[in-house]
Structure 1
Amino acid sequence: MAGSLTSGSTLFVFFLAVAAALSSWVGSEPPAQERQALLGFIQKVPHANRLRWNTSANASTCGWVGVTCDGTNSSVVELRLPAVGLVGPVPEGTIGGLSQLQVLSLRSNRLSGSVPSDFSNLTLLRSLYLQGNSFAGGFPPGLTQLTRLIRLDLSSNNFSGQIPFGVNNLTRLTRLFLQNNQFSGSLPSISAGGLTDFNVSNNRLNGSIPPSLAKFDASAFAGNLALCGGPLQACSPSFFPPPAPPPNPPSPNPPPKKSKKKGLSTGAIVAIAVGSALAAFLILFLLVLCIRRRGRPRSPKPPKNVGAAGPPRAAAAEAGTSSSKDDITGGSVEAERNKLVFLEGGVYSFDLEDLLRASAEVLGKGSVGTSYKAVLEEGTTVVVKRLKDVAASKKEFEGTMEVLGKVKHENVVPLRAFYYSKDEKLLVYDYMAAGSLSALLHGSRGSGRTPLDWENRLKIAIATGRGLAHLHAAGKVVHGNIKSSNVLLRPDHNACVSDFGLNPLFGTATPPNRVAGYRAPEVVETRRVTFQSDVYSFGVLLLELLTGKAPNQASLGEEGIDLPRWVQSVVREEWTAEVFDVELMRYQNIEEEMVQLLQIAMSCVAVAPDQRPPMVEVVRMMEEMNRGETDDGLRQSSDDPSKGSDGQTPPTESRTPPIGITP
């Protein structure tokens, strides 16, 4: 009986112990330092109102939005805060204190600055998602110490500098995404044994692709101006190769064969004498024949093609072609290769050989070709655009160039000259030393950066609009490729549009404006650009100036909405202030103007083309915003902004008033 009682009491004590353990398990809470790390992060980083954490003492950390704890609720293992409106730098001593963290997702916010060095403390981290922010600086060195990482996504930020060889420390890595940044230098030889996904497209990398990475598709390396080898074209020592020479050109002066004997033999002397006599007889015969023909009466009827075979030399030189004599003899082939056709109002004097001898630097690679900065021996600097995939005939090409060469406006980069051959099509423009709006707006965000202030953003918007309005109204030219990299700047931030009117050269097979973020909905389907599609692209450009987001990097969430739709979604939730670039938040008394420009931009990106205002009206709306200044060049009280030097009046178009911001 006593033994039975002893056994029963032992069993009771066991159940009490289990119950106590279960009670302590269910009621456990992450360590205080992890709670403080999370609170420090959310208190120091501005964020959207939708992210509300109950910070009361009795509230569980594991119940906060985006926070996931382990099975015992004893530590935070996942922090997922994608697209919740986080703004600014991530403070040191916050997230780096979550030592048990395995998954961290801060993607699609507006975080900036460098990645904190104490991220190196997250030694258990397996997945890190930082894409779609504005992080800057070099590749975060602390990340190369996270040897358990399986997936690392730093895409669509502003990271720069070289990709370190230390990435090889991440031996478990299967997915590495670094695209849409500013990384430069050569690619390190990364061991890709375990990598299944890899992307470094749209950076500034150069050199040859390491053999270890050559297994990936060309799309993984696209958009790097100087990468070669592997799945891309073979490496070449020249950035600006000259036009291909004609096959096997005959040597004009073949080297004489060496004679084995010092003197001529008797037989050779006799042969020369006989040959000379025959040649003299032949010349005499031809001379007599010509005299007899000249004595014959001429026919009163002229030949059918009289005058067509011999244009004046001056006209031939102006058109970049040779004389009729050269055409007959075949001597025009090489002469034509050395001819640049300078357009009306040109200020340069050089030929193709001078251009090919110039030192060349790659400026950018766009949808229609590659642009080079060429410095000639005489010191002149120009931009040479080398076109690709041109489908137009020579006549069509020259006709298009003639039209574009007549466009003159202070906010349009003038086309100075062109070159056409079977192998090469080149365009020559003025060089704009201040660079592009894209580089100024998105380049090197972070510490040490001078932000683009509101005054200059508005100045650039109006100047760009004036240039585009002139193309439409006075030049009757559809730009077809409006984007921030095609808006070039002078040192005073006066903007000019470039690369205009080139779409007719490429036919319908090549989609115009290949940067998807700027394309109007109807262009995606029809591949035909219009004045209305230009207005849409300009509206996206205005949104880019207002939000600080590049349209091809503005996707929020897994669905990947474009910039106009994202702006509409934020405004629909009444978070209008979160639309604007965080760099604009430091300026005072500009909210009203920003909202007005936002309304103009949203009217431009209307889905239906007939609901978009014409460019002349868009410029007028921007100039009539509530601005009192008259000496900053932002207003034109009397002159039509679309008028260029020729003073033409724009055609009559229906005007659409600015619409409200509606989804």
Structure 2
Amino acid sequence: MAMARLMRAPTPTFLLALMVAAISFMNMLSFGLPDPTSDALLNFKSSLGNSSNVLSDWGSSPKPCNGNKGNWVGVLCFNGNVRGLQLESMGLQGSIDVEPLVPLPYLKTLSFMNNSFGGPLPDLRRLKRLRSVYLSYNHFSGNISDDALKGLDYLRKVYLGNNELSGKIPSSLAKLPRLFDVGLEDNKFSGQIPDFKSKLWRLNLANNELEGEVPESLRKLEPSSFAGNGKLCGEPLESACSPPPAPAPPAPAPAPSPPPFQPQCGESGEPCSPPRKSASLGLKIALSIVSILLLIAIIAVILIIRNKRKKQSELDQVELLDDSTKYTAATASQIDAKSVENNHVNHPPKRAEQGKLSFVRDDRERFDLHDLLRASAEILGSGTFGASYKALILTDAVVVKRYKQMNNVGREEFHEHMRRLGRLTHQNLLPLVAYYYRREEKLLVSDFVENGSLASHLHGNHNLHQPGLDWPTRLRIIKGIGRGLTYLYNTLPSLVVPHGHLKSSNVLLDENMDPLLNDYALLPVINMEQAQHLMMAYKSPEYAQHRRITKKTDVYCLGIIILEVLTGKFPENYLKQSYDSKADLASWVNGMIKEKKTKSDGDYRSSVSSEGGGDDSTSQVV
């Protein structure tokens, strides 16, 4: 009987209590386990002099990141990993030791601007994956060693302005292959400017003690980039460099002695040698054979190239993405969940994976179509031209856009235009990274911009965590758009409308809230019938009245953006397939002025927000 009682099955109450105890024990273990990311950040906090009060919430929650949201102040997150530290204007002081941050493998951005840090520049070489460094407006001083930035091949932006740094500009900075934005202004740098290896969008060396001639690779920059350096010369500055002193004339060479007397044939009794015969018949035959073989080899190479092109053309017939990823959406906020399962793009047939992406920039890490299709992906939405996807390649997020309105464009014409776009470099243009050609549709790949579009900031729902744009920021955005548009006009003079699709949803905002123009210069490769229905250039008054676009059409679109930024009202005309004067924002503003409906800022903004509408696209959606 005792054995029977021992063998009796446990009661449900006992099982429930056992499960609760096990879960509680597992939770206790999980809370007790060390988190390397949290430990690294807390060690970095303890290395800062006066951070206890400023960073008081560090450690208050179990983990610093929750998806793309940072739980700790100043911590930037992406997919649950620490992507950057943005500790700006916090009154932090002392020196910076980056050694505690080495265990963070996804750390790409450091921004400690406008604090009171001092001492030498931090040793950044241990943080191999850094992309952006912002240390301006501090008190860093002393010389920078020549190899201080050696090995940081992914570094793109370096801001060291308004410090007390001296000595020569380190050559390791100039050798970084992906660098495109540098700020060294208001320091005490001396010596000559090194010749930068990469093609810079922006370089600010103003107010230093530099001297010598501006390197040839930097002569296309604005003169303001070199202002305040009295000993600099050469283009683009007005002061010309003094020509180097003429070299001393070489000493005259001694007169050559006359050659010894050579008797002619026959003078010394020797017979003259007979004249040489022309090339033998055998040599002529050999040359003919070589010529024939060379011609055959050339013909064979041409046939091989044509065969490869034919195979590639057959490969282009294969669908790039499975039909299960296709979807329709009335607006960018409506996403069909059936097209993506578990945030992964369905894989296409194997032959499509053999396709090749064409990169147009040398400052980007290479990947192929196979990597792109297997990457963790997310649909951003559907815009004017088609669907947009965000894909995570290694630690970089890129945006892939599918275009079906280019199917009448020939392969060579498309390749040439994409290479032309790849050569455009400006601080207010979002660069094209790569593209893929297929007859029915094309893919364009660019960097992902996390702050989204100007339209989302103007017309989205804002709260304390995502406030609207203040007026200084709006002014800076408008100026940046103007600079980017001016660059397009100067660089692409053959295009009637260099942008052609300028609207607030095609103005992206980078991490500093500076504008980046997107979807520019696509008019030559868009089918004309589709362009007339979809692109902003064909929704202008001049096209509605005269059925033509002019050089001023992009300027009109810029004016609409300025009115949109000032009033907060969404241009409803952009939602229609053609120009509608009743929905035109410019006509609405004129009507408000004529009817004297202008009010104070607060009343005007509230009336506009009640009348305006939301944008039909999210960030980086075509």
The answer, yes or no, to whether TM exceeds 0.5 is no
Q: Which has the higher contact order (CA 8 A, sep 6+)?
A: 1
| Structure possessing the higher radius of gyration over alpha carbons | 1
TM-score by length of 2: 0.40
**TM-score, normalising length from structure 1?**
0.38
